[in-house]
Amino acid sequence: MRKYRCSVLFVCANNICRSPIVEGVFRAAAKREGLAREIFIDSAGTSGNHRGEPPDPRGMRAARTRGYDLSRIRARAIVAKDFKRFDWILAMDEANLRALRSLQPETYEGHLGLLMDLVPDAPAREVADPYFGDSAQFERVLDLAEMAAERLLVRIRTDPTPPA
C-alpha cells in the first residue's frame, strides 16, 4: 500500500447505509480539496451480514442526487488488521463504537470515536440508522456526513495525526 498522509475508516453496523454514505461524501470532499491521493478512505461494518453487497439503493439514490457516487463501494466487515491500517476509525453510533472498542487491541495508537464528535455544534451526536426509515432519514445521514466531512478535512489538513 502506498504511503498516505493518513487513513480513515467509517463504521456502522452492516456497511450498507451510513458508513458507505459517509465514505462517499468524504471521498468527494477530499477530492474537491486536492487531498484524495493523500488520504486512504474506506468503510466497514461491525457485522458481516451484507458482505460484498452494494450500498442500500435508497442511500445510493439520495447520494447521487447530491452528486456523490457510491457505486464502487461494497460492504465488508471490520477485521483486526484495520486497527493497524487506519489512523482514524469513526463509528456512526454508540452501539458500533462499543463493538469496535471490544475489538480494539491495546496497541492501537489511532483515534477511535464517534464521527459526530468532530462536530461539537452538530444537531445529533449519533448518525441514526436510516434502514427502516424513509428517504428523509437518508437525507439526514447525508446532512450529517457533509458536516462531519468538512470538519475532518480541516483536522487532517491542520494535523493528520489523530488525537489519542
The predicted-structure confidence for 62-100, as pLDDT tens digits, reads as follows: 999 999 999 999 999 999 999 999 999 999 999 999 999
Is residue 164 included in any domain, yes or no? no
- pLDDT category at 164 given cuts 50, 70, 90 is low
Flag whether 1 is in a domain: no
Q: Tell me what percent of the residues of the chain surpass a pLDDT of 90.
A: 91
Quote the domain boundaries for residue 90.
Answer: 6-158
34, part of any domain: yes
Q: What percent of the chain has pLDDT over 70?
A: 98
- Residue 30 in any domain: the answer is yes
Residue 68 lies in a domain: yes
Which one from 42, 56, 87, 129 is the annotated catalytic residue?
129
CATH assignment of the domain containing 133: 3.40.50.2300
Can you tell me which residue has the cell 480539496?
33
- Picking from 125, 124, 127, the residue whose alpha carbon sits closest to that of residue 137 is 127
Helix (H) or strand (E) holding 120: none
- Split into its structural domains, the chain has a count of 1
Tell me if residue 27 is catalytic. no
Q: Cα dist. 10→80, 98, 100, 114 in Å?
A: 15, 14, 11, 9
Alpha-carbon gap, residue 105 to 94, rounded angstroms: 18
Angle formed at CA 53 by CA 19 and CA 15, multiple of 5 degrees: 20
Active-site choice (12, 27, 82, 87): 12
Under 8 Å between Cβ of 93 and 126: yes
Catalytic residue flag (residue 12): yes
**Is 61 labeled as catalytic in the residue annotation?**
no
First CA to last CA across the chain, in angstroms? 24
Give me the catalytic one of 17, 18, 56, 93.
Answer: 18
How sure is the predictor about 55, in pLDDT bands with cuts at 50, 70 and 90? very high
HSE value, Cβ hemisphere, 13 Å, CA-based, for 17: 23
C-alpha–C-alpha distance, residues 32 and 133, integer Å? 30
> What is the spatial distance between Cα 46 and Cα 159, in angstroms, rounded to a whole number?
28
What residues contact residue 62 under an 8 Å CB cut-off, 6+ apart? 21, 135, 138, 139, 141, 142
What's the pLDDT tens digit per position in 138-162? 999 999 999 999 999 999 998 877 8
Q: pLDDT at position 122, please?
A: 94
